[in-house]
Amino acid sequence: MPSEKMLMRGSHVVGEAAVRAGCRFYAGYPITPQNELPEYLSKRMVEVGGAFIQGESEIASINMVLGAASVGVRAMTSSSSPGIALKQEGISYMAGQELPGVIINMMRGGPGLGNISPSGADYFQATRGGGNGDYRTPVLAPAGCQELVHLTFDAFDLADKYKTPVVLLGDGLLGQVMEPVVFPDPIDVGTLPKKEWALTGCKGRDPRALFSMLLNVDDLYRHVLHLQEKYDAITAKEQRWETAMTEDADLLVVAYGTPARIAESAIEELRSEGIKAGLFRPITLWPFPSTPLRNLAAQIGKVAVFELSMGQMLEDVILAVGDRAEIYFHGVPGGVIPTPSNVAHFFRSALNGDGKLGRRIET
Residues that bind other proteins (CB under 8 A): 24-25, 27, 51, 53, 55-57, 59-61, 63-71, 73, 75, 89-90, 93, 97, 199-204, 207-213
For residue 10, give the 3-state DSSP assignment.
helix
Nearer to other proteins, 207 or 274 (CB): 207
Q: How far is the CB of 119 from other proteins (least distance, A)?
A: 28
Distance of alpha carbon 95 from alpha carbon 89, whole angstroms: 10
CA 120-345-342 angle, 5° bins:
50
Nearer to other proteins, 73 or 174 (CB): 73
Distance of alpha carbon 209 from alpha carbon 129, whole angstroms: 25
In 3D space, the residue among 312, 316, 314 whose CA is nearest the CA of residue 121 turns out to be 312
Structure-derived torsion over alpha carbons of residues 123, 125, 128, 134, reported in degrees to the nearest 10:
-160
Q: How far is the CB of 195 from other proteins (least distance, A)?
A: 12
Nearer to other proteins, 57 or 341 (CB): 57
Distance of alpha carbon 169 from alpha carbon 141, whole angstroms: 5
Quickly list DSSP for 67-107.
Answer: HHHHTT--EEEEE-HHHHHHTHHHHHHHHHHT--EEEEEEE
DSSP state of 16: H
Nearer to other proteins, 29 or 231 (CB): 29
Q: How far is the CB of 204 from other proteins (least distance, A)?
A: 8
Q: How far is the CB of 200 from other proteins (least distance, A)?
A: 7
Tell me how long the chain is.
363
- Contact present, 215 and 266 (Cβ < 8 Å): no
Q: How far is the CB of 360 from other proteins (least distance, A)?
A: 44
Q: How far is the CB of 96 from other proteins (least distance, A)?
A: 9
Nearer to other proteins, 87 or 261 (CB): 87
Distance of alpha carbon 251 from alpha carbon 273, whole angstroms: 14
In 3D space, the residue among 167, 97, 94, 92 whose CA is nearest the CA of residue 130 turns out to be 92
Q: How far is the CB of 44 from other proteins (least distance, A)?
A: 16
Nearer to other proteins, 26 or 347 (CB): 26
Give me the phi and psi of 329, to 5 degrees please: -140, 140
- Contact present, 41 and 24 (Cβ < 8 Å): no
Nearer to other proteins, 51 or 192 (CB): 51
Q: How far is the CB of 174 from other proteins (least distance, A)?
A: 27
Nearer to other proteins, 64 or 300 (CB): 64
CB atoms within 10 A of CB 14: 34
